[in-house]
A and B are shown apart, each in its own frame.
Chain A
Amino acid sequence: MKKQDQRPFMILTIPCLVVLFALALIPLIYAIYLSCHNVTLRTLFSQPDFIGIKNYVRIIGDREVLHSLLISGIFSTSSVSLSLAIGLGLALLLYTSGGIQKILRPLFLVPMIITPVVAGVSWRFMLDPDLGVISHVLSVLGIEKQPWLSSSSLALLTVILINVWQWTPLVMLIIIAGLYNLPTAVYEAAQVDGASTFQTLRYITLPLLKPVILIALIIRTMDTIKEFDTIFILTRGGPGASTQILSIDLYFRGFKFYHFSEAAALGIIVLFLIIFVSRYYIKITGEA
């Protein structure tokens, strides 16, 4: 009887499983296959040699990959922490339903709505030291022209700030949604006990928001690890390799240099990295 009850559910999940198999599993299996063979431009249509884990060993020992990993780490950590801090602040300021908040909230969402490639191209023009509007405004204020995207020290900071600008609204939106769902009774009790605004924030709002903040943290971390489009448009990983995060390294290996197998191995490593980080966060969420 129990088995019969489950049949409709199983039938209904078949289309979903087929789509999942076609769009996620087949490419994944093929990527694993590719990463264990030696497929390059010259061996594109011949029988590739099976080389086991050699590509993985090569990738892990490659100094350029280690450099990309470091840049990815800096980019991800800085961008996520900044967008969480600013997003939390904005959410606390804008979640009440006052008049000015109603106008500001949709305005703050604009960066998130812009396509990343369009945002990248626009920023590239705006940041041009000679023809860009930002340099013009800064020169009016007496600040010298800055090579925002063409100096190694500034380029990484610039792409981090652009990423923060674009995705902080997402964090703000998630936290505002969380704030609306907080129980009012706790706040009433705090008011009765005479808690100050800071005490309410520190001991009630933030602990209650912890699961929501962790969700925002997971989403932003995954996004920043696989970030590609905006950085590619802004700097193509340069100057030198100063903004070359893992996904850009992978793109160059696979689609520009035709080391398909190496790129597949790097892709699998990035996948495991994302799974590992996400699992870690989920574990913390569970504990919370």
Chain B
Amino acid sequence: MRLRKLLVGLSCILVLSSLTGATMCSAGQTVKILTYEVLATEAMEEFQQEFEKATGVGIKWEFASEPEVWDKISMEMIARTGAYDVFPVPFSKIAEFVAADFLEPLDQYVQNKAHPVWLDMEDFVPGALGAMKVKGKLYALPFFMWEAILVYRKDIYEKVGIDQPPTTLTEFEEVVKKTTIDLDGDGKTDVYGFTGRGSVEPHSTQSLTFAYSYGGEFFDKDMKPTITTPQFVKGVDLYVRLLQNFGPPGAATHDWWDIQSLFLEGKVSNMIDATTEWSPMFENPEISKVVGKVGHALAPQEKRPGGYMYVCGWGIPVSSKNKDVAWEFIQWATSKGFQFRGAVTGKKGRVDVTSVPVIQTKELAKDYPYLVPHPMVEAMNTVHPDYFPRIPEYTEVMTAYLREIQKAIAGEVTTERALETASKKIYDIMKAAGYYR
């Protein structure tokens, strides 16, 4: 009997304590963020006290590699447990999340300002903000963006007698050829003229920079693939040839980290990728063997700029139980004040900002004279609005495309054949998804 009373008493205490805990949690004191690490998130970690002091809300970070983040998001998209309040929304995947009704529309939140100076919609780079919208509705606020510029080895250019970085892709091919060199005279290439991603990752789309520059487009207005047009083929074929003839062995499977490592190791002369993010890294003597040797220029173009842009925003999953707190965090993390401090006074610094007033500051130009304003701001102004086709089938379409391009880079099929096969596959994917009725 005594035991039973004791058990009942203990149960009451447990129930009461759990209720108290629940009440405290529902007050929204912590914002849970799932993300991969980039310079922008590192700056947020460094300055998070600023947000915590202003709002009394704590931040709980969960970091994972990028593919792991997407796997976790896929699971949350199905399970909807409310495990996360904020997560990164790249503009390539935004349509996918919207199609699954997983992203909270933010238009209604925009009027609700947590802090008088945090949110100003006029601050954002227009292209970056536009990329966070689907059918006119806003789903995320951009917190970092990268552009593609040409990074090249000044010392190698000097060695082979090149005065100016190339401005057209035709010139670029010649430069790449000349800067593929054997430094020690043993008959083996020591520095490759070019490197780029060949891996089948949804964002390994650098071949599109070349195709768009020649005037190619991925889809026509009816969403039928147009990747077999002569201009598209010409651009992709140049990318493939440069990797095959002047790129490092194994280029067909190289990803973001591989090409970055190769450049940091001093094994590559030219690169056109998400290079504005990497440039500060090349000047860090702790990790780079090319400090002081890297030049920066606008990516060479043929008929028009290649238009590469990668934008990522913070979004709120519909399953979040702390949406208001999540919105407060997003406003702080994209505010010009924080972006300025992260870029200029942060330990690592960052140049991937999305706020126009920050990009225009003298301080940013002083810290990154090789990037701001030239060539970064010019690259920013010429981005292709649909560089990544914003459709829910993006990953499937891009996987079909990249698998064939990978075969071409590996030398197993010609570029024409690869694009013909990819085009058929993409047509079938789009047809099955109901685009052509």
Given known contacts A42-B99, A238-B200, A256-B399, A150 and B71 CB-to-CB distance under 8 angstroms? no
Tally inter-chain residue pairs, CB-CB below 8 A: 89
Chain B interface residue count, CB cutoff 8 Å, equals 37
* Residue B245 CB within 8 A of the other chain: no
Interface string of B398-419 (1 = CB under 8 A from A): 0100011011011110000000
| Contact with B265, one of A41, A129, A131 (Cβ below 8 angstroms) | A131
| Chain A nearest CB, measured from B177 CB (Å) | 19
Interface members, chain B 383-398 (any A CB < 8 Å): 392-393, 395-396
B154 within 8 A of A: no
A130-B262, A131-B262, A145-B249 provided; 7 other pairs, C-beta below 8 A? Answer: A45-B101, A130-B265, A150-B252, A151-B410, A241-B403, A256-B395, A257-B399
Complex Cα gap A130–B199 (Å): 16
Interface residues in A237-260 (C-beta closer than 8 Å to B): 237-241, 252, 255-258
B406-A240 in contact (CB<8A): yes
Q: Once bound together, how far apart are the Cα atoms of A239 and B254, in whole Å?
A: 11
A-chain residues with CB within 8 Å of residue B262 when the two chains form the complex: 130-131
Which of A128, A236, A252, A255 lies in contact with B250, CB distance below 8 A? A128
Q: Which of B47-102 contact A (CB under 8 A)?
A: 71, 74, 77-78, 96, 99-101
Question: Residue A150 contacts which of B77, B253, B392, B395 (CB distance < 8 angstroms)?
Answer: B253
Name B residues whose Cβ lies closer than 8 Å to a Cβ of A. Answer: 71, 74, 77-78, 96, 99-101, 198-201, 248-254, 258, 261-262, 265, 267, 392-393, 395-396, 399, 403-404, 406-407, 409-412
Name which residue of chain A comes closest to B421, CB basis: A240
Given contacts A238-B199, A256-B395, A150 and B251 within 8 Å (CB-CB): yes
Count of chain A residues with a beta carbon within 8 Å of a chain B beta carbon: 28
Q: A41 touches which one: B258, B392, B410 (CB < 8 A)?
A: B392
Distance of A103 from chain B, by nearest CB (Å): 36
Docked-complex contact A150 and B200, CB < 8 angstroms: no
CA–CA, A235 to B201, complex, Å?
A: 11
A152 within 8 A of B: yes
- 26 A–B contacts from the bound complex (CB under 8 Å): A42-B99, A42-B100, A45-B101, A128-B258, A129-B249, A130-B248, A130-B267, A131-B262, A146-B249, A147-B252, A148-B250, A150-B249, A150-B250, A150-B252, A150-B253, A150-B409, A150-B410, A151-B410, A152-B412, A237-B200, A238-B200, A240-B412, A241-B403, A257-B395, A257-B399, A258-B100
Contacts of A45 in B (CB 8 A): 101
B403: A residues at CB distance < 8 A: 238, 240-241
* Chain A residues, Cβ within 8 Å of B406: 238-240
User: Which one of B249, B265, B396 lies within 8 Å of A147 (CB-CB)?
Assistant: B249
The answer to whether the Cβ of A149 comes within 8 Å of any Cβ in the partner chain is yes
**Are A147 and B410 closer than 8 Å at their CB atoms?**
yes
Chain B residues, Cβ within 8 Å of A145: 249
Q: Which of A146, A252, A258 contacts B399 (CB 8 A)?
A: A252
Answer yes or no: A20 CB below 8 A from chain B CBs: no
Alpha-carbon separation in the docked complex, A45 to B101 (Å): 9
Bound Cα distance from A240 to B412, whole angstroms: 9
A239 near B249 with CB under 8 A, answer: no
Known: A130-B262, A131-B265, A150-B410. A239 touches B252 (CB 8 A): yes
Interface residues of A in 193-215 (CB under 8 A from B): none
**How far, in angstroms, from A182 to B249 measured CA to CA in the complex?**
51
Check B250 against A147 for contact (C-beta < 8 Å): yes
B407 touches A239 (CB 8 A): yes
- Find out whether the CB atom of A238 lies under 8 angstroms from the CB atom of B96: no
The answer to whether A44 and B267 have CB atoms under 8 Å apart is no
Residues of B within 8 A of A258 (CB): 74, 96, 100
Task: Please state if A236 and B199 are interface contacts (CB–CB under 8 Å).
Answer: yes
A residues near B410, Cβ cutoff 8 Å: 147, 150-152, 239-240
Complex-state Cα separation, A128 to B259, whole angstroms: 12
B298–chain A nearest beta-carbon distance, Å: 28
CA distance A257 to B395 in the complex (A): 7
Task: Write the nearest CB–CB distance from B82 to chain A, whole angstroms.
Answer: 15
- Which residues of chain B come closer than 8 Å to A235, judged between CB atoms? 253
Give every chain B residue within 8 A of A130 (Cβ-Cβ): 248-250, 262, 265, 267
Give, as a whole number of angstroms, the nearest-CB distance from B428 to chain A.
11
- Asked if residues A129 and B395 are in contact (CB atoms below 8 Å), the reply is no
When distances are taken between beta carbons in the complex, the residues of chain B under 8 Å from A255 are 71, 74
The 7 closest A-B pairs by CB, nearest first: A129-B249, A150-B252, A150-B253, A257-B396, A240-B407, A129-B250, A150-B250
